[in-house]
Amino acid sequence: MEIMPNYVIFLTNRCNLKCPHCFWENGVRDQSLSKKDLKRILKNLPNGRSFNILLTGGEITLEKDLLIYGLEELKKIRKRKGVINLEVQTNGSWLKDDEETYNLFEKFYELGVNNVQFASNDQFHRTAGFDIRKRQHIIDKAEKRFKKRMQVWGVYAESDLYKRGRAVENFPDSSERCQYPLKYEKPTRYSVGDELRQPRFYIFPDGNLNICESGIPTPLGSAIENSIATIERKMSEEHQAFIWKGISSVLTQRGLHLEGYEEHPCSCCRELYKD
Q: Determine, yes or no, domain membership for 268.
A: no
Q: Determine, yes or no, domain membership for 248.
A: no
Q: Determine, yes or no, domain membership for 54.
A: yes
Q: Determine, yes or no, domain membership for 29.
A: yes
Number of domains observed in the structure of the chain: 1
Write out pLDDT tens, residues 155-174.
Answer: 555 555 666 677 777 776 64
The C-alpha angle 41, 84, 71, rounded to 5 degrees, equals 45
Write out pLDDT tens, residues 220-262.
Answer: 899 999 999 899 888 777 777 777 666 677 777 777 766 655 5
Per the structure, the complete domain to which residue 124 belongs is given by 6-234
pTM: 0.84
CATH classification at residue 62: 3.20.20.70
Q: Determine, yes or no, domain membership for 253.
A: no
| pLDDT of amino acid 64 | 97
Averaged over 178-206, what is the pLDDT?
Answer: 55
| pLDDT of amino acid 23 | 77
Band of pLDDT at residue 267, cut at 50, 70 and 90? low
Write out pLDDT tens, residues 17-26.
Answer: 988 878 776 5
